[in-house]
């Protein structure tokens, strides 16, 4: 029976979410393209997945901050296929703001970022937990960030949310074992529109060049490399759970 993968926030153009769902589709999996607002973008990704060889494609609208929507999505997956093998918690938001600008983030900014990046992962994973357990030998991969370890990234709110996500990864790994493994992937700088739009082209290129010069592997990450790492975590060692796997071209080793 074909396995099933759900990626939340799978519609960003040139993003890690869409690259991941297409990676699984290319392997002949059944895939769930989750989105919150942009139906046209979701349908576009779904068509690409079909063309790449997905066994079946479900387009699922669900805001991860809505418990009702996430439970409805789980019910749709169960009714259609009766299993879920991999959940990739990718949906995330940020407010781009220099960490030194303490007045640049409002209370509402923090609330919004934590609602999606932390509470949303909790709600989505809880909704899928029963299905994952019944499937057995399932895997959850939370997309975190090296910023959650270093207090860096697009904003202080984003870094704090990813640090919270790291802690929640440990908790879920304990709670969902032994039927489900739970790990987090912590990318560094990921090339693509998300950072370009948030940082502006000039700053994006400056930061990218600086990281390439500094990182031991002399590169930064592409969405496709993130997808490959997610695939590995989903199929990785059977004893691997509760781990924070950094994918940063060795940036943590730079001096």
The backbone torsions φ and ψ at residue 32, rounded to the nearest 5 degrees and listed phi first, read -115, 115
Q: CA 26 to CA 57: how far, in whole Å?
A: 12
Question: Distance (Å, rounded) from C-alpha 184 to C-alpha 8?
Answer: 14
Please answer whether residues 110 and 127 qualify as being in contact, where contact means their C-beta atoms are separated by less than 8 angstroms. Answer: no
Residues 35, 122, 158, 204: which is the catalytic one? 158
Place of tokens 């979701």: 42
Token pair belonging to 111: 């609330």
What backbone phi and psi angles, to 5 degrees, belong to 149? -95, -30
Q: What are phi and psi of 37, to 5 degrees?
A: -135, -45
Query: Shortest CA distance to 235 belongs to which of 14, 19, 27?
Result: 27
Residue 210, classed as helix, strand or coil, is: helix
Asked about 158 being catalytic, the answer comes back as yes
Strand 56-61, strand 30-35: pairing:
parallel
DSSP 117: I
Which residues partner with 185 through β-bridges? 143, 245
- Active site members: 158
């Amino acid at each position: 029976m074909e396995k099933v993968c759900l990626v939340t926030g799978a519609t960003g153009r040139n993003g890690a979410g869409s690259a991941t769902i297409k990676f699984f589709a290319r392997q002949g999996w059944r895939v769930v393209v989750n989105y919150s607002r942009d139906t046209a973008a979701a349908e576009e990704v779904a068509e690409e997945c079909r063309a790449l060889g997905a066994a079946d494609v479900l387009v699922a609208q669900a805001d991860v901050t809505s418990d009702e929507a996430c439970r409805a999505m789980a019910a749709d997956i169960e009714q259609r296929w009766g299993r879920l093998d991999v959940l990739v918690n990718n949906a995330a938001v940020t407010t781009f703001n220099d960490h030194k600008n303490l007045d640049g983030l409002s209370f509402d900014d923090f609330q919004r970022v934590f609602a999606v990046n932390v509470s949303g992962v909790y709600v989505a994973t809880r909704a899928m937990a029963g299905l994952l357990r019944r499937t057995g030998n399932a895997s959850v991969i939370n997309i975190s960030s090296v910023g959650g370890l270093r207090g860096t990234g697009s904003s202080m709110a984003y870094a704090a949310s990813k640090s919270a996500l790291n802690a929640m990864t440990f908790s879920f790994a304990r709670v969902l074992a032994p039927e489900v493994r739970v790990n987090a992937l912590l990318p560094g700088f990921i090339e693509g529109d998300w950072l370009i739009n948030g940082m502006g082209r000039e700053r994006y290129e400056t930061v990218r060049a600086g990281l390439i010069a500094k990182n031991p592997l002399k590169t930064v990450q592409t969405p496709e490399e993130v997808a490959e790492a997610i695939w590995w975590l989903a199929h990785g060692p059977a004893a691997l759970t509760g781990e924070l796997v950094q994918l940063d071209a060795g940036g943590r080793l730079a001096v």
